């Protein structure tokens, strides 16, 4: 018998002491059940990657969660699989996952969520044309033709059910395809020069400017998957033009000055604060600006944690000790290198710039061979199987 996972999203509103079957309109209820004795951990995550609910189901147990009046994208995970889903008040959606973890949908909302499956499959079919860096090797005309074609395919896929599809969902997805294209164009100059080893490469004068119509007012864009990446590329591009000022300080200063929407400004400030705060030499000044732009307590707590960690390792402070397992399975700590100059390289198997610099790092190690210098390479955000397979290859 095939293993079957079923989710029911049923309309309801908030009510006190409602029984499980008392349902009214405007909100959504999610019920997850397996029809066999399969044991599985099911999680529902919001767009910020916060786990809304996690539960291990056994036999005929139910996973139940309520979405109150909240429209947007969520991730449903079960085992090692994850699927992006779109929920909004009034959807009555049933999701079935077969024994091969292939999803199918019925009910209101099925068209929108089936599109997300076809979208993911289409992107996968593009291969390196979408996920890799090879497309940045193309000359300008070939590259522009490619990104136009990729957007056209996604627009056609969306248009096939445009008469029946939810209007907000249509806006988010059409904009996401547009921002994906514009973001690639915005990165072309940097990455074309990088992948071809052409330092200082500049695009031609008639190469399109992808930022001419960038909008920092419409908050609806925040639900379009690629908007923040697109806006981030704009501010990185502008900040890189000022070689006299700290890059991150220039970035956040321009966000504060140019972005009219407080929600968009916060999203960009949080992205920098959570991911790139370690790249500034003006930590305190940048942190003060981020505090002005970020109002969500949870977002600020994440930035605070990053800030206080960085304060401990400012120039002149002793490094905190840490320990981890090396490729031979032995535990190695920073204290083991006491008295030596330690060069720490962070890398990942999926990070193409990391892989590209490895031959140069090897030459650097050879240059310092026999000197009081230790080189430590730490693989991050990979499983042990992934980095061991990479080393074996």
Bridge partners (DSSP) of residue 77 are: 43, 82
CA 272 to chain centre: 13
Q: Residue 282's closest CA among 231, 239, 218, 335? A: 239
Q: In CATH, what number is assigned to the domain containing residue 84? A: 2.60.40
Describe the crossing of helices 140-159 and 110-126 by its angle, rounded to 10 degrees: 160
- The length of the chain, given as a count of residues: 393
Sign of the CA dihedral with 218 first, then 219, 224, and 229 last? positive
Residues 47 and 90 in one domain: yes
Q: Which residue has the higher pLDDT, 393 or 369?
A: 369
Query: Do the strands 72-78 and 81-87 form a parallel or antiparallel pair, or are they unpaired?
Result: antiparallel
Query: For residue range 102-156, what is the model confidence (pLDDT) as tens digits?
Result: 788 888 888 999 999 999 999 888 877 776 778 899 999 999 999 999 999 999 9
Q: How many domains does the chain have?
A: 3
Query: For residue range 200-226, what is the model confidence (pLDDT) as tens digits?
Result: 899 999 999 999 999 999 999 999 999
Q: Among 144, 179, 210, which residue terminates a domain?
A: 210
Residue 219 lies in a domain: no
Query: For residue range 96-116, what is the model confidence (pLDDT) as tens digits?
Result: 777 677 788 888 888 999 999
Band (pLDDT 50/70/90 cuts) for residue 34 is: low
What's the domain range around 94?
A: 5-107
Residue 82 lies in a domain: yes
The answer to whether the beta carbons of residues 5 and 97 sit under 8 Å apart is: yes
How far apart, in whole angstroms, are the C-alpha atoms of residue 94 and residue 32?
10
Q: Which residue has the higher pLDDT, 75 or 17?
A: 75
Task: Give 56: exposed, middle or buried? Use CB within 10 Å, 0-12, 13-18, 19+.
Answer: exposed
């Amino acid at each position: 018998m095939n293993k079957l996972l079923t989710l029911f999203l049923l309309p309801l509103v908030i009510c006190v002491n409602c029984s499980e079957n008392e349902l009214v309109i405007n909100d959504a209820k999610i019920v997850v059940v397996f029809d066999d004795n399969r044991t599985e951990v099911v999680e529902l995550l919001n767009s910020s990657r916060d786990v809304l609910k996690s539960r291990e189901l056994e036999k005929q147990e139910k996973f139940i969660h309520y979405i109150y009046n909240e429209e947007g994208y969520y991730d449903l995970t079960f085992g090692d699989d994850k699927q992006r889903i779109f929920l909004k008040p009034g959807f009555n959606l049933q999701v079935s996952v077969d024994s091969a973890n292939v999803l199918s949908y019925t009910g209101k909302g099925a068209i929108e969520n089936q599109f997300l499956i076809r979208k993911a499959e289409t992107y996968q079919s593009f291969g390196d044309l979408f996920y890799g860096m090879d497309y940045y090797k193309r000359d300008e005309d070939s590259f522009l033709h490619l990104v136009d074609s990729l957007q056209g395919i996604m627009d056609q896929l969306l248009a096939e059910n445009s008469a029946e599809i939810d209007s907000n969902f249509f806006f988010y997805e059409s904009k996401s395809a547009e921002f994906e294209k514009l973001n690639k164009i915005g990165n072309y100059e940097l990455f074309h020069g990088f992948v071809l080893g052409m330092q200082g490469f500049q695009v031609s004068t008639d190469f399109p400017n992808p930022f001419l119509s960038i909008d920092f007012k419409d908050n609806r864009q925040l639900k379009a998957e690629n908007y923040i990446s697109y806006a981030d590329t704009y501010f990185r591009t502008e900040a890189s033009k000022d070689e006299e000022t700290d890059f991150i300080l220039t970035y956040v200063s321009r966000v504060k000055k140019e972005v009219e929407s407080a929600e968009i400004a916060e999203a960009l400030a949080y992205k920098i604060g959570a991911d790139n705060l370690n790249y500034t030499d003006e930590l305190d000044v940048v942190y003060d600006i981020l505090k002005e732009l970020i109002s969500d307590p949870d977002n600020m707590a994440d930035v605070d944690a990053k800030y206080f960690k960085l304060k401990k390792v400012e120039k002149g402070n002793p490094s905190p000790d840490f320990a981890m397992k090396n490729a031979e399975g032995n535990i190695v700590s920073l204290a083991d290198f006491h008295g030596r100059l330690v060069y720490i390289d962070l890398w990942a198997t999926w990070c193409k710039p990391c892989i590209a610099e490895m031959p140069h790092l090897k030459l650097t190690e050879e240059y310092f061979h026999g000197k009081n210098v230790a080189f430590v390479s730490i693989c991050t955000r990979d499983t042990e199987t992934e980095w061991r397979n990479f080393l074996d290859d």
